[in-house]
Amino acid sequence: MDRMHLKIEASIIACVIMILLCSCNLFVTDKDKFYLDKDLNYTLSRIDIKKTGPDIVIPEKVGDRTVWRIYLADPYYSKIDSLDISNVKELESFTIKLFGMNTGTKLKKLDFSKNKKLKYIDISKTTSLKKVIFNNKCEYIYLKGTSIKSVNLKNLKELESFIYRDGPLEELDTSNNPNLESIKIADTNIKRLDVTKNPKLKYIIVDEGTQIIGPTNAQIEYNKRAE
């Protein structure tokens, strides 16, 4: 009887522990994982990676608030392995800045193709990032300190500003971007830039020695490459 009693007690204790563990997970909501800063017009500005894990899927809403702007600026986010923002249908602005070049980031790809309202993209010091898929409505793109060698801007008819700095970009085709007003590419591997199809260009920055093809009224500045 004593042995049977002990077995029953052990089973009950095990069940209680399982219930407690499950209940902890059940009570972790999106509000516990994602923080919308009301002082920044409810921008999503913090993610608790301990609760989300390194493979993060950002929800369309946090509580009753729709996510429309994401701003992640901290080396802490170098712990992110993947970032899925396909559910954020109302997203208009996306920024990630990891600071410091040796943050150990593993993020290799960002896909904005489902974010039809996204107009502003700012990605800095994300050294592992090799590919970005843009949405068609994007107007402003800033890439600095990535490992992106090529970009596809073909369908970005509304693009007004493209900036790329400190990375291995090898070529840039802007022939399908008639509304471009500013191109800034510095410390890259680009040797020539054709601006024949960019009649609205006002400002160009390229590295010294880069060949600019086509007539333009834009102001041109040459960047002295970093040693």
Checking if the pLDDT of 216 tops 70, the result is yes
Amino acid 23: pLDDT: 45
Checking if the pLDDT of 172 tops 70, the result is yes
Question: What does pTM read for this prediction?
Answer: 0.86
pLDDT grade for 225, boundaries at 50, 70 and 90: confident
N-to-C CA span, the chain = 81
- Phi and psi dihedrals of 195, rounded to 5? -115, 20
State pLDDT tens for residues 193-205.
999 999 999 999 9
Tokens representing 108? Answer: 């290799």
Q: Which CATH superfamily is domain 30-223 in?
A: Ribonuclease Inhibitor (3.80.10.10)
Task: Give the list of residues 6+ apart from residue 5 with CB closer than 8 angstroms, or none.
Answer: none
Checking if the pLDDT of 66 tops 80, the result is yes
Could you tell me where the beta strands, DSSP code E, fall in 38-134?
Answer: 43-47, 55-57, 61-62, 65-66, 69-73, 82-84, 93-97, 109-111, 120-124, 131-133
Tokens representing 179? Answer: 């509304």
| Cα–Cα distance list, 98 to 67, 106, 144, 222 (Å) | 21, 12, 11, 27
| Mean pLDDT calculated for residue range 50-62 | 95
Amino acid 188: pLDDT: 96
Residue spans of the domains in the chain: they are 30-223
Amino acid 15: pLDDT: 57
| Rounded-to-integer distance, Cα 201 and Cα 177, Å | 10
Checking if the pLDDT of 212 tops 50, the result is yes
Checking if the pLDDT of 160 tops 50, the result is yes
